[in-house]
Structure 1
Amino acid sequence: MTTINSKNKEITLDIQGMTCAACSARIERGLNKLEGVEQATINLALETGHISFDSAELNEDALIAKIQKLGYDAVVHQENNEKDHREVEIERKTRVFIISAIFSLPLLWTMFAHFSFTKGVYVPEFLMNPYVQWALATIVQFGIGWQFYKGAYYALRNKSANMDVLVALGTSAAYFYSVYIVLKNREHIGMFHLDLYFETSAILITLILLGKLFEARAKGHSSDAIKKLIKIQPKTAFVERNGTPLEVPIREVQLEDILIIKPGASIPVDAVVISGNSAVNESMLTGESLPVDKSTGDTIYAATLNENGTLRVQAKKVGKDTVLSNIIRVVEEAQASKAPIQRLADQISAIFVPIVVTLAVITFIVSYFFFTDGNFTHSLERMIAVLVIACPCALGLATPTSIMAGSGRAAENGVLFKTAEALEHTNTIDTIVFDKTGTITKGAPVVTNFLVLNKYEKKDIIPLIAAAERNSEHPVATAITNYGKDYGVLPAVQTFKAIPGKGIEATVENKQIIIGTRKLFTNHDITINCDSNFEDEGKTVMYAAIDHQHVATIAVADEVKETSKDAIHKLQKMGIETIMLTGDQVKTAASIAKQVGISNVIAGVLPTEKAAEVEKLQKENRHVAMVGDGLNDAPALAKAEIGIAMGTGTDVAIEAADITVMKGDLLKVVDAVKMSRLTVRNIKQNLFWALAYNSIGIPIAASGLLAPWLAGAAMAFSSVSVVLNALRLQRVRL
């Protein structure tokens, strides 16, 4: 996946061979040192690298060569592969584990002969032959386990250390000590059983491979959200060619093509309905379970499901430009980015392995001279246990797996975090500033009151007034016209004149119609016979006259969205202060704020001043998020610590924001805050248990209370437990 902008280029690579946080940190450091690399971010959980670089100085091959020099392998990430690289890697790890288990199980069987309480278990005599054990262990140690030696070699060559170093040291100590015992007693073989540790090295390697296999499978589930989104994209579409629907591959659909969408079919592109009516299930994009009615002029989106009617549509966005493709891109970039909290884990991992090796050596020396009375075997066992149990795998997976699971679950419910940083920082927000129009309200004015004077009939008056407003482009006029359509077919307009800022004059059915402000009526010497308190409610009031007689008073307002009040109440219960920031007049803003339960209102603010108002709040040591949808909100969205854009808003607002909520539903803002808090809590749990595991495990291993193979099992399953904890985020109900 590459994008080019002048000389700046971005590339995503699939990286193979990483085993712990030290691996990803080493690749990241190595790439960032290359001349021409602007930024390289390596994600251990996704096993990918995202690199921005100057194409005039570097190319893809040079980046891959650098990764290979560091001891790993890389290929350019291919989108929409039938089988992604992680699935291929899981299959490979499964094969390797099975082979390792086949050669290790006989050695495991021999362990029954070592303990008095298992003496009754039958062990074939040929398995107790040191040369048979040596042969089996050698296959595992240098055939299956060669990957650990290779990783350790490259790590040490690049002046760093990783999990491979610990595994190679620990298993080699057990293996070569056993070889030494065999050679030392070669003349006495067959006379008595030797205390060998071939099974320790082989079983350690097998258990570590099993742990890595479980870990890979669990990590695969953490990106299930992306897989689901990719899988729901249809592979073909029915396109009209010479008036006949023809099934073609989705990649051949062009802009402005006419498509036929049959009932039950998945919609292949973003399009506008030309003809037909149907209900469309958009839950895969918005998380809303109820289908949405679609008819001529409505927009439909790729991968949504056409439920019951045939639609004839025109393609408006295809391929990578569809809403679905953009969602997939945003979620992938968020999962590939690095949260600030991960820096702690990276810093610890960078020094962890050298510290562990030092502790292991100290353990051996102290044990040999002070606790085991010079017993080399027991001291060696303790050293191996320390080396193995201290692998920092869980620490490296603590953050990225939570980020993947949390951002994926949010995307499934219509909340798109652009970066891991946005996902983490939303947790700190204590103040949310809302734009009014299009954010709290629907953004389109509607008639809320149509007061007709007593001596007139609504059915006679309303069609005339609605018809008169039909030729005006003003939003208030549109609202009045739409209201009048419920009263039948509107009559023809004979003359029309717009009076800017005041209203309109028209002739309908030979009657003179005047609709406008109080000032317009004053200019025409028309008496307002019935006053109202609509203006006190923050509504726009228009007066209508027919043949110079006041006949109706009309109140128009931008209606509050159905979920706005509930969303704001929930945010306040979460301890977040809510503020309305709008350019509208104070009276209107206060009325809307009262309806939704906001007490702090900043009204009459020019678009250029919105960012300054956000900055004022930040100077009061508040952590501010801004929610908006319009072009005029973009500076404030960018200025706030977290910008949240309505998915129904302008492209500029969405681009300036850190989070996009689909369908413009404010309850999705609640979901965003909730998901951030749960994800950060999950990360902290993972980091705590990863560090606690090592802090507790190392002293136990050093004291001799943990056999090396048990240490290997504990190390392997510690990583799995961290990943499984992260996967709990995928079950969060939003």
Structure 2
Amino acid sequence: MENHNHHDHSHDEHHNHEEHSGHSHHEHHKMMVEDFKWRFWWVLGLTIPILALSPMIQEFLNVEWRFTGDTWILAALSSVVYFFGGWPFLSGLIDELKKKQPGMMTLIALAITVAYVYSTAVVFGFDGHLLYWELSTLVGIMLLGHWVEMRSVMSASAALEKLAELLPGKAHRVNEDGSTEEVPLEDLQKGDKVLIKPGEKIPADGVVVKGESSVNEAMLTGESKPVSKSTDDEVIGGAVNGEGSLTIEINKTGDDSFLSQVMNLVRQAQDSKSKTQDLANRAAFWLTIVALTAGALTFMAWSLFTGQDLSFTMNRTVTVMIIACPHALGLAIPLVVSVSTSLAATNGFLIRNRVAFEQARKLQAVIFDKTGTLTEGTFTVTDILNFNDKFSDDEILKYAASLETNSEHPIAKGILEKAGEGVQEPDEFNSITGKGIEGKVDGKAVKVVSPGFVRENDFDYPKEQVEDISSQGKTVVFVVVDDELCGAIALGDKIRETSRNAIKKLHEMGLEVVMLTGDNQQTAEYVAKELDIDQVFAEVLPDEKADKVKEVQGQGKLVAMTGDGVNDAPALAQADIGIAIGAGSDVAVETGDVVLVKNNPEDVVNLIKLSKATYSKMVQNLAWATGYNVIAIPLAAGVLYTWGVILSPAVGAVLMSASTVIVAINARLLKMGD
């Protein structure tokens, strides 16, 4: 066990590591959300006078607000709505047509263009109805839908910014004469020697040339225990130094460093993720075809076979084209997204990537990182071994805890937590380099030492009992009082109670559960056996985690990865759904498609249930939104004209509003699922 009298040193962590591709993408995303919001409020403001000035609305409300030039004012206001409010859809139409993938943007742009061009023709003398009010309400509702939708969609690139922030901004470079100077990180060269003080972050990958310490690499490698470092040991940039000072010689900087490689893995995995078109886009694609076909058929049927005048024919065609673009479809998905996002948040998880979240209903395997996810990630005293009954278990624990009072080491914290109140300060205290600590407690000479120290000094103890406990992946420290070995304290990474329930429920849902860990095979197998896990990958290096996810995906399964460390970030990004444990590192949180706020694996079960419930609500809403069209389009086209039934644009609008209201109410009825 390492010397662990830890002092916390605050240090400057301000830096400039944001000049990477992720940053600009993140900013662009934020700007787009603001853009939709800004356009929406403008259009809403203009829609009020447009509705008031529209003859059809006045007729509907049975009022007469006509005055000279009112039509020109109406046309001017509507032009602003069309060109300014409609711009995202018009530019989206061009993008979709370039990609030969007509979708929602094409459908909206088509409907607003038809309404605008037709109404403008009426202003200039064409015989027909002004449909500017249709144009403005359609643009307003579509902007609102896209704004709501985009706010709930995450920008995964923020993960790369968080990774860069793990590195300190400056480093203490050691000069030839032994003096140190503070230099910016980017000035470090391969071969430079750097001093790392207690509590500081390691600025770059390197090899220890002087000093001894324990280093916390948990955020990078997933190894739960702090790792002892002395001369010739390698250290990773971004890890946190413990209680000793280290001088390292840098052997990797910039793109070669471990952290840069993790960032590249995250970037690659994010880029290679399939950009699944969501449901609404598929519906919009078919509705575009339906709208164009119905419009063309309506125009041809009335002009070729009935001899109706152009005004009547155009009116029918335009009504069909506008009705084919339902307001309800624009809101069908965003409203469900909005409700499910807030419902998820109140239940302790945040949805950051909607497409991935919707996929959760189809999951076949869930991979869990062990440390900090299935386990607590903190050391807890699990056993106290008493070798000679000279002291009670409590006394052994109290002696050890008294020595550990001043330490910040995770093992010390575990012992102190178990000992509780009434622990006294030691009279004397000293560290035994790399082997443990010693001091005077109640006039007795007490040592808390590692198995190595016990072996070197040929102490006699029940080896089988200790080996049995070690085989469960536990850390054992020995307590020596007045040069006599009295007992040992075993500490383990405690398995969360909620992990058992979560895995049981996942099995009931027919999912396979896989565990992934950087820990040794013994520890991994012990935890897997305890939790009834189907498949285990142990001793997995950080850059191999994403490969293991690929391996499970290669079995033809849709895979979710649940983890909390930086080392999990590439794996989270590689998985079909990345589920980040919120109490873990910021980076994992930023890479996750879904973030579990409460460190509770059972939330993975709730997430899958909510995904299923959300999907079925979306399908119901799309059925309402498009079902309305199935009835309204033929009526608008005039199939029942012979019987005197014809759908005027005004009645079409009422029907459209009704379907929008139904969709909105249905979305609000979303529940977590059974």
Place the TM-score, normalised by the shorter chain, in its bin: 0.5 to 0.7
- Matches of 2:417 and 2:397 in 1, distance apart? 11
Contact 1:439–1:628 (CA under 8 A) maintained in structure 2: yes
Could you tell me how far 1:580 is from its partner in structure 2? 1.1
Q: What is the distance in 2 between the residues matched to 1:666 and 1:428?
A: 18
SS in 2 for 1:571: helix
Gaps of 5+ in 1: 14-39, 51-74, 79-83, 110-126, 128-132, 181-197, 227-336
How far, CA to CA, are the matches of 1:137 and 1:571 in structure 2? 68
Task: Quote the residue 1:162 is aligned against.
Answer: 110
Aligned position for 2:633: 698
Amino acid at match of 1:511: K
Report the AA paired with residue 647 of structure 2. Answer: A
Residues 626-667 of structure 1: CA deviation (Å, up to 9, x unaligned): 111123323322322222222222233334433332243323
Could you report, residue by residue, the CA deviation over 1:275-308 in whole angstroms, capped at 9, with x for unpaired residues? Answer: xxxxxxxxxxxxxxxxxxxxxxxxxxxxxxxxxx
Q: 1:487 to 1:597 in 2, by over 3 A?
A: farther
Hey, what's the Cα distance between the residues in 1 that align with 2:23 and 2:68? 46
Cα distance per residue 1:294-349 (max 9 Å; x no partner): xxxxxxxxxxxxxxxxxxxxxxxxxxxxxxxxxxxxxxxxxxx9962154245446
Change in 2 beyond 3 A, CA 1:471/1:524 = farther
Aligned residue for 1:669?
A: 604
Q: Is the 8 A contact 1:338 1:400 kept in 2?
A: no
SS at match of 1:687: helix
Q: Runs of 5+ in structure 2 lacking a partner?
A: 1-16, 98-105, 154-273
Q: Which moved further from structure 2: 375-384 or 617-626?
A: 375-384
The one-letter code matched in structure 2 to 1:718 is S
Q: Is the 8 A contact 1:468 1:496 kept in 2?
A: no
* Alpha-carbon distance change, 580 to 138 in structure 1, aligned in 2, over 3 angstroms: farther
Q: Is the 8 A contact 1:545 1:552 kept in 2?
A: yes
Q: Distance in 2 between matches of 1:494 and 1:206?
A: 82
> 1:555-570 to 2 correspondence within 5 Å?
555-570=490-505
- What percentage of aligned pairs have identical amino acids? 29
Cα deviation code 1:161-187 (max 9, x no counterpart): 52234435777899999x97xxxxxxx
Question: Is 1:359 the counterpart of 2:297 in the alignment?
Answer: yes
2:369 aligned partner: 435
Report 1:520-669 matches (<5 A). 520-528=453-461, 531=465, 534-535=469-470, 537-669=472-604
Change in Cα spacing, 1:9 to 1:476, as seen in structure 2 (3 Å) is closer
Q: Is the 8 A contact 2:439 2:445 kept in 1?
A: yes
Whichever residue aligns with residue 333 of structure 2, its letter is T
Q: CA–CA distance in 1 between the matches of 2:565 and 2:23? A: 30
**TM value normalised by structure 1:** 0.57
CA distance in 1, matches of 2:309, 2:430: 110
* 1:37-62 Cα distance to aligned partner (Å, 9 max, x none): xxx88xxxx9x836xxxxxxxxxxxx
**Cα drift, residue 672 of structure 1:** 3.4
Q: Does the CA-based 8 Å contact 2:401-2:419 persist in structure 1? A: yes
Q: Deviations over 1:105-150 (max 9, x none)?
A: 45765xxxxxxxxxxxxxxxxx9xxxxx9x9599776554665577
Post-superposition Cα deviations, 1:198-234, rounded to whole Å, max 9, x if no partner, equal 8xx47x76678678878888999889999xxxxxxxx
SS in 1 for 2:424: coil
**Structure 1 pair 427/139, CA: closer, same or farther in 2 (3 Å)?**
farther
Alpha-carbon distance in structure 2 between the residues aligned to 1:725 and 1:151: 30
Q: CA deviation at 1:538?
A: 4.5
- Are the counterparts in 2 of residues 391 and 715 from structure 1 also a CA contact under 8 Å? no
CA RMSD of aligned residues (A): 4.7
1:632 maps to amino acid: N
**Relative to 1, partners in 2 of residues 1:225 and 1:641: Cα closer, same or farther, differing over 3 Å?**
closer
Distance 1:571 1:85, change over 3 A: farther
Mark the CA change 1:107 to 1:459 in structure 2 (over 3 Å): closer, same or farther.
closer
- C-alpha distance in structure 1 between counterparts of 2:25 and 2:518, whole Å: 42
The 1:614–1:363 alpha-carbon spacing in structure 2 relative to 1, beyond 3 Å, is same
CA–CA separation in structure 2 for the residues paired with 1:166 and 1:175: 14
Q: Deviations over 1:381-440 (max 9, x none)?
A: 755653443234444444344334433443454433333333333343321111111111
Contact in 1 for aligned 2:447/2:479 (Cα 8 Å)? yes
Matched, 1:386 2:320: yes
Mean Cα deviation higher: 381-390 or 648-657? 381-390
Structure 1 residue 611: deviation in Å? 2.3
Equivalent residue for 1:304? none
1:279-428 equivalence runs, <5 A = 340-341=277-278, 342-345=280-283, 347-348=285-286, 351=289, 353-365=291-303, 368=306, 383=317, 385-428=319-362
Q: Residue 579 of structure 1 aligns to which amino acid in structure 2?
A: V
Residues 494-521 of structure 1 deviation map (CA, whole Å, 9 limit, x = unaligned): 4431444xx5555545534344465643
Instruction: Find the counterpart in structure 2 of residue 681 from structure 1.
Output: 616
Relative distance call for 1:597 and 1:363 in structure 2 (3 A) is farther
Report the Cα offset of residue 601 of structure 1: 2.4
TM-score when normalising by structure 2: 0.62
Would you say the 8 A contact 2:612–2:673 is kept in 1?
Answer: no
Q: Residue 707 of structure 1 aligns to which amino acid in structure 2?
A: L
- Deviation sequence 1:567-624 (CA, Å, 0-9, x none): 3333333433221111223343233334444343222333333222212111111122
- In 2, Cα distance between equivalents of 1:604 and 1:4: 32
Distance 1:546 1:389, change over 3 A: same
- Are positions 1:710 and 2:632 aligned together? no
Q: Are the structure 2 counterparts of residues 91 and 151 from structure 1 closer, same or farther at C-alpha, using a change threshold of 3 Å?
A: closer
Secondary structure at 2:32's aligned position in 1? strand
Corresponding residue for residue 190 of structure 1: none
SS at match of 2:421: helix
The one of the two structures with greater contact order (alpha-carbon pairs below 8 A, sep at least 6) is 2
- Letter in structure 2 aligned against 1:368: T
